[in-house]
Structure 1
Amino acid sequence: MSRKVTLKDVAARAGVGSATVDRVINERGNVSIEVSRRVLQAARDLGLKRILPERHHRTIRIEVMLARPELPLIARMRHEFQRLTTLLDASIIIHRTILKDERAETVARALRRTSCDAVIAYMPDDPVIREAVATLQTRDIPVVTLISDVPGSARIAYAGPDHFQSGRSAAYFMTQMARTAGPIAVLCNTRELQSHDDRIRGLEAYLTGHSTFSIAAIVEGRDDRDRSETRLRQLFAAHPDIVAVYNVGAGNLGVAAAIRADILTARPVFVGHELTQYSAALLREGIMSLTIDQNPELQARVAVNHILKHFDFADLGEDDHYDTKPLQAVLYGPENIPEVPQI
């Protein structure tokens, strides 16, 4: 008869003490993921007659860093992370940090100061950001970029859409929907944001093969309603033949106000981003033609799952929204507007 396997046998095979095996088997905590994995594998290899935990649960504190909560997209993102806290295992704790501004120095300072186990952040692509992310990597703190990527950094993953593709899609629909060929006005926050720069590059790439359309100008509204309206009014006065407006970022209300001023010869096609209560109203009114939504709910879930995957917290399958590919954006027009939550 074979001898009964004991915790001491498991400890010897795993190269740890019996007390450590007891903590892992009985899920008492205070054991690293790597040691826990080794203990559980040893127990399975030896055939320990115990019901083994499927995985080691440790507390994982994730800091989500966002700036400018007054922007509808950021408000939606905050809401989704708050909702996730009620759905996740109690050992996963999400801290939401709202930064005073979106400058690279501000974000980098917050990254370096984090005391959490992981970070999910919306941040510009800047050398000081890449340096801060590299510093966190040396501290074994994984970073996932959200909304806009920092591809040259040591981040472990990006949870967001392909913005270049979104820009090409915007160009396609504007050229198809415009009453005639002509100049296009482009509004963005700043091209320092990777997402905004990618969208504009996608637009430019598509228009390269459509010489009858051109970009009148690219103006930076800093996602501010009043500034966006003022800059667009000036552009409309200089180019009254503009046939379409592409708003790469926020400030849709500023775009709408500039269009309503009727400075242009005829009202333009207006394509923007994000489905909010404001863009939904503009679509219904007919001021906005199309909005490209990046699905904050899915972004938040994928971002958290990247962190959990990194810590080997769970075996994520296809139904768990874990993917390394960019997420697909969703197109909304006046005829397919879903119910938009009031946030």
Structure 2
Amino acid sequence: MSEQQRPPRRVTLKDVAKRAGVSHQTVSRAINDKGEIDPETRRRVLEAARQLNYRPSRFARGLVSPGATTLGLVVSDVENPFFPELIAGVIEAAEERGWQVLISSTQNHSGREPDVIRTLAAQADVVIGYLSAPDDTLAAAAGGLPLVVMGRAVGEPAFGAVEVDTDAGVRAAVAYLVARGHRAIGMIDCGDDGQPDRRPAFVAAMAAHDLTVTDDLIAEAELTVEGGAAAFTHLRTTRPDVTAVFTFNDMLALGVYRAARRLDVRIPDDCAVIGFDGLPLGELIDPPLSSVALDKRRMGAIAVAEAARLLAGEPAGRAVLPVELVIRGSA
């Protein structure tokens, strides 16, 4: 077939984006008459589409409801009790704006984050997620798609972020335990490199009270209840003098309770326990769990607000979610 006989190549979103000097997500929002876009930008995009004789495919038009903004949400595990409240906060805030929400899970494999983001990028206008991959990896996967990262600090200036004031929470937990007379305070940490690092905050908080953290005061655990139980058993074996434990999160704290029953260790008489996250289920165990609590619904709402800022073309924001030490019966 000669060049003259070959049918012309179909004009794509990327062709229009190149002509208009914008991202292909911006082209999608302009063509579908979505909000959060500058009128002059919309005019420029539509003019480029007219010049190129661009026609959206039926498949592309069917991805979302006409005129709706679609938000992609990435979490690591929908069964983890931390995430239902976060997801609820995102959905509620998105619905208030008339947005649709697509939820995807990496199933606790941080290496799947780029693939999940790339998949969502074909359907969503913006993505928010509890993500742990390096910034450059996330940026490459997003391909210019507006992205908001929750739960940790980011260095990529194009990303929005909702950080957690971890240091303040850990300082409060350690200060409380020290005030109660504890000196040998252990930590059960999460060995998963996909999780935020709370160990430096713990070491610094202990040093502020002239307490040194040796390697045998920190036990690594898989991020499961049984992982927390195994770590506490190891800690009590190597450091039987430990009278208080701070855990990476409440799930690991539940494992401490399980192991304590097996070892005939009384909480808090023999060993005080403070977790992190403030999960509602901590109130249901005996004694109720003390924890550094954070408002997960609020985190979701703030992330949606940051997503709206990015869609409106505003500079990426950095929000910090406050935490609160909630003392119950375990410490």
2:130 match: 122
2:102 match: 95
TM-score, length basis structure 2: 0.71
Question: Judging changes above 3 Å, is the alpha-carbon distance between structure 1 residues 253 and 155 closer, same or farther for their aligned structure 2 residues?
Answer: farther
2:167 paired with 1:164:
yes
1:64 match: 73
1:257 match: 258
1-structure distance, mates of 2:86, 2:156: 23
2-structure distance, mates of 1:155, 1:281: 41
**CA-CA distance at 1:274 after TM superposition:** 2.1
Superposition misfits of 4+ residues, deviation over 6 angstroms: none
**CA deviation digits over 1:51-70, x for unaligned, max 9?**
xxxxxx95321100012222
1-structure distance, mates of 2:212, 2:178: 7
2:308 paired with 1:305:
no
Whether the 8 Å CA contact 1:181–1:212 is kept in 2: the answer is yes
Whether the 8 Å CA contact 1:161–1:329 is kept in 2: the answer is yes
Whether the 8 Å CA contact 2:190–2:220 is kept in 1: the answer is yes
2:291 paired with 1:291:
yes
Q: What letter corresponds to residue 187 of structure 1 in structure 2? A: I
Q: What letter corresponds to residue 110 of structure 2 in structure 1? A: A
Question: Judging changes above 3 Å, is the alpha-carbon distance between structure 1 residues 205 and 33 closer, same or farther for their aligned structure 2 residues?
Answer: same
2:208 paired with 1:209:
yes
Uncovered stretches (5+) of structure 2, i.e. residues with no partner: 1-31, 44-65
Q: What letter corresponds to residue 256 of structure 1 in structure 2? A: Y
Q: Say which SS state the counterpart of residue 252 (structure 1) adopts.
A: helix
Q: What letter corresponds to residue 210 of structure 2 in structure 1? A: S
1-structure distance, mates of 2:244, 2:41: 57
RCO higher in 1 or 2 (8 Å CA, sep ≥ 6)? 2
Aligned pairs, how many?
271
Uncovered stretches (5+) of structure 1, i.e. residues with no partner: 1-27, 40-56, 316-321, 336-343
1-structure distance, mates of 2:209, 2:292: 21
2-structure distance, mates of 1:168, 1:143: 30
Identity of counterpart residues, as a percentage?
14
Correspondences of 1:5-20 after superposition (within 5 Å): none
Correspondences of 1:124-273 after superposition (within 5 Å): 124=132, 126=133, 129-136=134-141, 139-149=143-153, 151-153=154-156, 156-177=159-180, 179-182=181-184, 184-190=185-191, 192-193=193-194, 195=196, 197=197, 199-212=198-211, 214-215=213-214, 216-249=216-249, 250-262=251-263, 267-273=270-276
**CA deviation digits over 1:28-68, x for unaligned, max 9?**
937992335787xxxxxxxxxxxxxxxxx953211000122
